[in-house]
Amino acid sequence: MPVIRDILLSLKSREVLRRQGFRGGSRVRPEIKSLITEILATVKKTHLLEPAVAYEIYLIAGMSPDRISLEGGKAIEGPLLAAIFPEAKELAVIIATIGPGLEKQVTDYTSRGQHLRGTLLDGIGSAAVDSLIPQALKSIADGVSSRGYEISSPVVPGMPGFPLTEQWNLLELAKAKEIGVSLTASGVMVPQKSTSMVIGIGPKMTRWTQAEVCRRCSLKETCPYRVTE
Amino acid sequence: MAADLASTLADLKEAEVLKIVKDRLGAGEEPLKILDDARRGMEVVGKRFADSEYFIPDLVYSGEILKVVTDLVKPKLTKEVGTKKLGKVVFGTVAGDIHDIGKDIVVFMLDVNGFEVYDLGVDVPAQKFVDKIKESGAPIVGLSGFLTLAFDSMKETVEAMKAAGLRDKVKVMIGGGQITDEVRKYTGADAFGKDAMAGVALAKKWIGAG
Ligand code: B12
């Protein structure tokens, strides 16, 4: 059961700003820019980010419109999966987190009345999760390439056609306990700055961009954080 | 001529704002007039935010500046005026949802805009809202939630207010990333706000100060 911890996150200021709702071309005040730089330095110095990824690769035993059956009698429900990568031979279930430290610090800031710092650090945490994903995917892609396989782009529960109720199943399948990620009774991951996803693996896999994912989202018209091309 | 407080605050020039306020207080100016100018500045901030000229961090920054201004002016106000709030608001993220930051921003903006906010935190059961409304007599309730499942919790919370005989005594607003008017109808809330400033505007309207 692979766990990756040795990840160096380099946060691009463009991504950090996107998570604050700034869009390309919008004016960022120098005070806010310098505060972001300062907080990023603190994040680094105090090791607030503890990125960890747990994943497991399963052979696909069969596909139906509503579910993908895996080896060992396991399965993942949701019509999106079979529709989006019918060509997959294997499937990786991935849980990634930046750990609990950052969100504790956010609460600490806001409870001390430092709301701007709290807000900016929260956005930095989301950007850190964003930047963790490609690194995790690259490491999995490198692993499967020796078998002549590629990976697809990720599919995320919560997208239309992949219900959030599958979170319990995915956390089990990826053995998320190993990296300290669990679910609340209502199915929210703790630490909150965590993400779950599934990728298809096979000889030739389809890939898509974040802008395409945003185009399919129900919030595509209004989301302040959407990515456009 | 001294720089104008409202426009300096609207431009988020923190150091200059504080200097103006200190100078005006030093000159013995009426503290309420200073607060009034600051409030006008905040209205411009709200407008710039609505026009996508300002973003969430700018908004929170303006709140922090206003907070410092208020703290400077407060000691000069008479006791009665100094502690008088616009109105009470009970606020929280509904049961099952633990999302914090969006709620915190709305609570903070309500607070700096003169409301007394009872922040119940996250994952708040319906009964806790009911108890706090009864205890505080707050006429306004804000429910935050950004998961789809929060819609049911919001509906249950509004229903719990009904069952406790409080529904016609309070105005309920809801908000969070996914809230639309359809969701508002489903939950039985009175209004929804898409961001913190919308929340402040609703609260002001409901207490007749908007
Ligand atoms: C950033 C983000 C993340 C980040 C950080 C999450 C976190 N909890 O910290 C990361 C990348 C980690 C993440 C992960 C996930 N996310 Co997410 N995420 C978002 C996103 C883009 C923004 C949320 C946010 O932090 N906003 C910033 C704050 C400042 O804004 P806000 O909370 O909306 O609050 C503002 C307003 O809404 C308003 N407001 C808030 N409350 C109130 C109340 C009142 C009364 C008023 C008037 C106004 C008001 O004022 C605030 C300030 O202006 C939303 C989409 C969106 N546009 O909202 C999805 C979203 C919430 N996520 C979603 C999903 C599905 C997930 C995942 C399950 C995906 C996955 N499988 O990995 C995970 C779950 C994580 C977990 N812990 O369980 C879905 C939820 C869908 C659902 N069915 O419930 C959303 C809606 C996206 C989508 N359309 O699919 N996510």
Partner residues linked to B193 by β-bridges: B175
Q: What kind of architecture, by CATH, is found in domain B87-206?
A: 3-Layer(aba) Sandwich (3.40)
Report the gap between the CA of A116 and the closest CA in chain B (Å). 6
Q: What is the pLDDT along chain A (229 residues), one digit of tens a residue?
A: 699 998 888 888 888 888 888 876 778 889 999 999 999 999 999 999 999 999 999 999 999 999 999 999 999 999 999 898 999 999 999 999 999 999 999 999 999 999 999 999 999 999 999 999 999 999 999 999 999 999 999 999 998 899 999 999 999 999 999 999 999 999 999 999 999 999 999 999 988 888 888 887 888 888 888 887 6
ipTM of the prediction greater than 0.90, yes or no: yes
Give domain limits for chain B: 5-81, 87-206
Please report the atom of ligand 1 found closest to the CA of residue A218: 89
**Spatial separation of the C-alpha atoms in residues B175 and A39, rounded to whole Å:** 28
Record the tokens describing residue B72, joined without a space: 């400077």
Map residue A55 onto helix, strand or coil: strand
Q: Around Cβ A217, how many Cβ atoms within 10 Å?
A: 13
The amino acid at residue B64 is: E
**Protein residue with least CA distance to atom 56, ligand 1:** B177
In single-letter form, the type of residue at position B59 comes to: L
Kindly state if the Cβ of B50 falls inside 6 Å of ligand 1: no
In the CATH scheme, what architecture does the domain B5-81 have? Orthogonal Bundle (1.10)
Q: What one-letter code names the amino acid at A169?
A: N
Distance linking the first and last C-alpha atoms of chain B: 31
Nearest CA to ligand 1 atom 40: B176
Q: Closest approach of chain A CAs to the CA of B101, in angstroms?
A: 7
Inform me whether the pLDDT recorded for B1 exceeds 50: no
**Range A3-216 has CATH code 3.30.565.10:** no
Q: Which residues of A touch B108 (CB under 8 A)?
A: 110, 115
Q: Please work out whether the CB of residue B92 comes within 6 Å of at least one atom of ligand 1.
A: no
CA of residue B40 to ligand 1 center, whole Å: 31
Residue A221: CB atoms within 10 A of its CB come to 7
B interface with A, Cβ–Cβ < 8 A, is 12, 14, 52-53, 55-58, 60-61, 63-64, 67, 95-101, 104-105, 108, 123, 147-149, 177-178, 194
- At B161-196, the pLDDT tens digits run 999 999 999 999 999 988 999 999 999 999 999 999
Q: Which residues in chain B are contacts of A31 at CB distance < 8 A?
A: 12, 14, 61
Q: Any idea where the domains of chain A sit in the sequence?
A: 3-216
Backbone φ, ψ for residue B177 (5° rounding): -45, -35
Q: What are the chain A neighbours of B98 within 8 Å (beta carbons)?
A: 184, 188, 190, 192
**Contacts of B71 by beta carbon, 8 Å cutoff, 6+ apart:** none
Q: Report CA(A19)–ligand 1 centroid distance (Å).
A: 11
Report the chain B residue with the minimal C-alpha distance to residue A115.
Answer: B60
